[in-house]
Copies of this chain bind each other. A is one copy, B any other.
Amino acid sequence: MPPINRQVLLKSRPAGIPQAENFELAEAAIPEPGDKQFLVRNEFLSVEPAMRGWVSAVANYATPVGIGEVMRSFTAGTVVKSRHPGFAEGDKVMGMLGWQDYAVSDGSNITRKVMETGLPLSLSLGVLGLNGVTAYFGLLDLGMPRPGDTVVVSTAAGSVGSAVGQIAKLMGCRTIGITGGATKVKLCTDAFGYDTAIDYKSGDLDAALKAACPRGVDVYFDNTAGAISDAVIKQIATGARIVICGTASLSSWDPWPMGPRVERHILVKRARMSGLLIFDYAHRYEEAVGRLAQWIRDGKLAYREDIVDGIEHAPGAIAELYRGENLGKRLIRLSSE
Contact = CB atoms under 8 A, between A and B. Distances in A.
Contacts of A313: none
Interface stretch (A23-31, A178-186, A262-270): A262-270
Contact of A253 (B59, B226, B258, B264): B264
B263 A225 contact: yes
Contact of A276 (B246, B262, B265, B267): B267
Q: Which 10 A-B pairs have the closest CB atoms?
A: A266-B275, A267-B275, A225-B263, A256-B260, A273-B273, A259-B261, A272-B274, A244-B267, A270-B275, A244-B266
Contacts of A269: 275
Contact of A60 (B257, B262, B268, B275): B268
A258 B258 CA distance: 6
Contacts of A263: 222, 225, 229, 244, 247, 250
A272 B270 contact: no
A231 to B, nearest CB: 12
Given A245-B267, A250-B264, A259-B259, 8 more contacts: A53-B268, A225-B261, A246-B267, A247-B267, A258-B259, A262-B262, A270-B277, A272-B274
- The oligomer's copy count stands at 2
A192 to B, nearest CB: 24
Contacts of A258: 258-261
A92 B233 CA distance: 42
A271 interface: yes
A245 B60 CA distance: 28
16 contacts: A222-B263, A225-B261, A225-B264, A246-B267, A247-B263, A250-B263, A257-B261, A258-B259, A259-B259, A262-B273, A267-B277, A269-B275, A270-B274, A270-B280, A272-B274, A272-B275
A287 to B, nearest CB: 19
A250 B271 CA distance: 19
Contacts of A266: 244, 273-275
A270 B261 contact: no
Contacts of A253: 264
Contacts of A276: 267, 270
Contacts of A246: 267
Nearest to A142: B272
Contacts of A59: 268
Nearest to A236: B275
Interface string A273-286: 11111001000000
Contacts of A268: 53, 59-61, 275, 277
A263 B256 CA distance: 11
Interface in A51-74: 53, 59-61
Nearest to A230: B256
Contact of A261 (B61, B245, B250, B265): B250
Interface in A197-243: 222, 225-226, 229
A245 B270 CA distance: 10
Given A244-B266, A261-B250, A274 B275 contact: no
